[in-house]
């Protein structure tokens, strides 16, 4: 089984993926450390400011707030992303705050069990996932389709070929 985009962006083993991220300008290497710039955080447009966004699953059993600069989302064609239809916005985990009890979340993991794909057990919607990036930082992958009052046409969408990696 090939690794999908999530595994790669959360620190998957494929060296060729890291090389592609460097080529695409998503990751910059600084001496021996990997600096994530601008991905998995959003790319900041000139003069843009961090905002607070509210989001939820369809039925509201999972609700959250997230702070950051939302200018770009990732659209991946790997097996799980394609089936979920998610557009991911990666932020530091401490920028995500649950407004409902954590017990309301159901979690799915597969493959290397690296990423926690959270979903609502009532309506089935996948509002966000959690994992660790290659530098050891906790990250959240927010499904921007679950955020309130977001104009998806205003976002830059980065298409990721997770299917063939």
pLDDT at 162: 84
Strand 156-160 versus strand 72-76 pairing type: parallel
Q: Which of 108, 95, 86 minimizes the C-alpha distance to 138?
A: 95
- What are the chain's domains? 5-160 (2.170.150.70)
Write down the pTM of the prediction.
Answer: 0.72
* pLDDT given at position 106: 96
Alpha helices in the chain (DSSP H): 5-9, 15-23, 79-84
What pLDDT score was predicted for residue 24?
59
| Rg of the chain over all Cα atoms, to the nearest angstrom | 15
Residue spans of the chain under pLDDT 70: 1-48
Per-residue pLDDT tens for 75-118? 999 899 899 999 999 999 999 999 999 999 999 998 888 889 99
């Amino acid at each position: 089984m090939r690794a999908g985009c999530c595994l790669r962006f959360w620190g998957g083993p494929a060296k060729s993926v890291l090389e592609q991220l460097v080529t695409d300008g998503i990751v910059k290497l600084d001496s021996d450390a990997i600096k994530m710039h601008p991905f998995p955080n959003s790319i900041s447009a000139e003069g843009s400011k961090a905002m607070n966004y509210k989001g939820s699953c369809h039925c509201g059993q999972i609700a959250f707030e997230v702070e950051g600069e939302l200018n770009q989302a990732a659209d991946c064609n790997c097996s799980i992303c394609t089936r979920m239809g998610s557009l991911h916005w990666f932020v530091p985990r401490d920028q995500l705050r649950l407004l409902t009890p954590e017990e309301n979340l159901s979690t799915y993991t597969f493959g290397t069990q690296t990423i926690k794909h959270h979903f609502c057990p009532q309506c089935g919607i996948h509002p966000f996932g959690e994992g660790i990036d290659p530098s050891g930082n906790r990250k959240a992958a927010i499904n921007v389709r679950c955020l309130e009052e977001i104009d998806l046409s205003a976002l830059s969408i980065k298409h990721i070929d997770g299917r063939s990696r």
